Amino acid sequence: MNKDILLCGVGGQGTVLASKLIASSAMECGNTVHSAETIGMAQRGGSVTSHVRIGENAFSPLIPMGKADMILAFEPAEAVRNLCYLKKGGVVIVNSVPVKPVTESLHDTGYDGTEMIAYLRKKVDELVVINADEICKSLGSAKIFNVAILGAAVGTGRLGIDAETVLKEIETKVPKKFTEINKRAFFAGKQIGESYAVK
């Protein structure tokens, strides 16, 4: 299997755990995996990305533009910022809830993410939109969206990794007291992903 998956968001949203779960699940299935993360100054409120490259055909740790099979975007503008990486026919799963930059409070440009979602709808055929606030509220935790979006990716059937493997990795990688809620988040996301896959 050769798959390139790009995760993007804003520092602190939990993209790193999601990328680690994808990488370790793919390895469990016997694949070679490479990945790369944003580390350093940009982590403090800046745009962050994780590139996960599954398969023997990957040499660069970063996905070349126009080659990603899937983008998991934790923030609408970050999805658009990284859309150059998506290949034609690729899947985008995006959170519709925006993260406003600090500069936005100083100079209000009215950024609320809606223009970004509209642009994605225009450009991406295979688009899954998830409202992170709703899903977090229903599960009673603000910190589970990263696993929910991963569930959605599995649910679409386009990630090439089965739910059982990911669940096993959640059990080993997530601290014990949070495993249950993360599993529930995974299933909630998976359901959303599946409903799109049927379409």
Partner 1 sequence: MKKEYIMGNSAIALGAVSAGISLAAGYPGTPSSEIIETIEKYNNGNIHLEWSVNEKAALEVAAAASYAGARSLVTMKQVGLNVAADPLMSLAYVGVKGGMVIVVADDPGPISSQTEQDTRMFAEFCRIPVFDPSSPEEAFEMIKEAFDFSEKYKTPVLFRPTTRICHAYASVEFDESFSPKPYEGFVKDSKRWVIFPKLSFANHAMIEKRNPEIGNDFSEYSRNTACGKGKKAVFTSGISYAYVKEYLKDRDDVTVCRIATPYPFPEKLVLSALDGVEEVLCIEELSPYIETQIQRVAGIHKLGVSIFGKTTWHIAAAGENSSDSAAKALKAFLGDSAEETGIDLSDIPPLPVRPPVLCAGCPHRASFYAVKQAMKGRKAFFCGDIGCYTLGNAMPLDMVDTCLCMGAGVTMAQGLYHMEKDAVSFAFIGDSTFFASGMTGVVNAVYNEADMILCVLDNSTTAMTGHQPHPGTGKNMMGSFVEKISIPDILKGMGVKRIETVNPFELAKAVDTVKSCAEEKGVKAIIFAAPCIALYKPEKKMCINDNCINCKKCIKEVGCPATVIVNGRVSIDASLCTGCGLCAQVCPVNAIGGEGDE
Q: Which residues bind partner 1 (CB under 8 A)?
A: 10-11, 23-24, 27, 32-37, 39-47, 57-67, 77, 80-81, 83-88, 100-106, 108-109, 111, 115-116, 119, 123-124, 142
Least distance (Å) between residue 194 CB and partner 1: 25
Phi, psi of 135 (to 5 degrees): -70, -40
Nearest to 72 by CA among 109, 18, 137: 18
Q: Closest CB to partner 1 among 112 and 194?
A: 112
Least distance (Å) between residue 109 CB and partner 1: 7
Q: Closest CB to partner 1 among 177 and 198?
A: 177
Least distance (Å) between residue 2 CB and partner 1: 12
Least distance (Å) between residue 122 CB and partner 1: 9
β-sheet bridge partners, residue 150: none
Tokens of 128: 């899954």
Tokens of 42: 């940009």
Which secondary-structure segment (H or E) carries 52? strand 47-54
Tokens of 116: 């970004």
Least distance (Å) between residue 191 CB and partner 1: 25
Q: Closest CB to partner 1 among 43 and 194?
A: 43
Q: How many CB atoms lie within 10 A of CB 108?
A: 9
Q: Closest CB to partner 1 among 133 and 191?
A: 133
**Contact criterion met (CB below 8 Å) for 22 and 170:** no
Tokens 């997530």: give the residue.
174
**Contact criterion met (CB below 8 Å) for 159 and 1:** no
Q: Closest CB to partner 1 among 109 and 140?
A: 109
